[in-house]
Amino acid sequence: MGTPEFAVGTLERLVNEGYNVVAVVTQPDKPVGRHQDTLQPPAVKVFATEHNIPVLQPVKMKDEAFVEALRAYDADIFVVVAFRMLPEVVWAMPRFGTFNVHAALLPQYRGAAPINWAVINGETQTGVTTFFLDHDIDTGRIILKKTFDIADDYNVEDVYDGLMKLGADIAVETLEKVIATDGNVETIAQEDTLTDEEFENLKPAPKIFRETCEINWQQPCKKIYDFIRGLSPVPGAWTTLVQGEKQTVMKIYKASKTGQSCSQYKPGDVLIEGKQFLIATADNFLSIDVLQLQGKKRTEARDFINGFRVVDDLHRNSSVVCFVR
């Protein structure tokens, strides 16, 4: 059970390892295009169809026809990767239960966007966890964990790719344990993996919306740097570029820490120094490397600077040419 490319990594591994994948459950095809008149199948459906695996696409997980169709496959176990919350009538159906591959080290980062939030929060390590589903979101008993190091220059795509492979590894290892123990695999309660104080201060991973992605320039440079890479390449951190009366939404996909103090400038002030596009934060300048203005193509900052129109009475070097907010 899964929808995006992240889930395909595990499905492909199960097929290649010779497991009898009797069916796939995924989201309905999504309308795309200007007029929403083209249906785009989920990545999991595309892979399943190419490998002649039956596909179920329920609108509602409690739909009686879907539940009966699912029960008819008589599966021993359900494997869930990047899918929606399941009702008990579904997750309790197979004799070995239902386990989820979650892209974080539970109980930290429960929720819909664990990879994004781990990078946004500047974590140096994350991982994947398998756990048996229960009535709440990402709270079930843990089966296995595997760690993954986050380098300081990794963005979400880098971590996503690494965890997709690691998720496939842990799914197979979990299945082997479940089969070897005839479903009586050893598990541990999530609250027993942390101290009481740590468990009371868990970091969540809620769904990300457009307003979540707006940059707050009043924060320190490092925090903004992590925020940008935690949303790159999708959905992309954004800000508003202000040039006189003109305001343009600008997405930032890559930035660099400079270590250069900006104490004489206000957070959000923009400076052009040579080929550097600098923005003042709460402490140091952040150098913008890759950006995209609304309605334009993504571009490197040096190319953007070449076409940048500066007000006549402002100099390119060491002068505020505009600001962001």
pLDDT at residue 307, rounded to an integer = 77
Structure tokens, 229: 């890479």
What value does the mean pLDDT take over residues 291-306?
Answer: 92
Reported as a single tens digit per residue, the pLDDT across 65-111 is: 999 999 999 999 999 999 999 999 999 999 999 999 999 999 999 99
Predicted TM-score (pTM) of the model is 0.93
What value does the mean pLDDT take over residues 2-14?
Answer: 97
pLDDT at residue 37, rounded to an integer = 82
How far apart (Å, rounded) are the C-alpha atoms in residues 141 and 243?
54
Neighbours of 117 (CB within 10 A): 23
pLDDT at residue 243, rounded to an integer = 82
Residues contacting 258, CB < 8 A, separation 6+: 221, 278, 284, 285, 286, 287
Reported as a single tens digit per residue, the pLDDT across 259-288 is: 999 999 999 999 988 889 999 999 999 999
Using alpha carbons, select from 179, 112, 109, 111 the residue that is nearest to residue 143: 179
Mean pLDDT score of the chain: 93
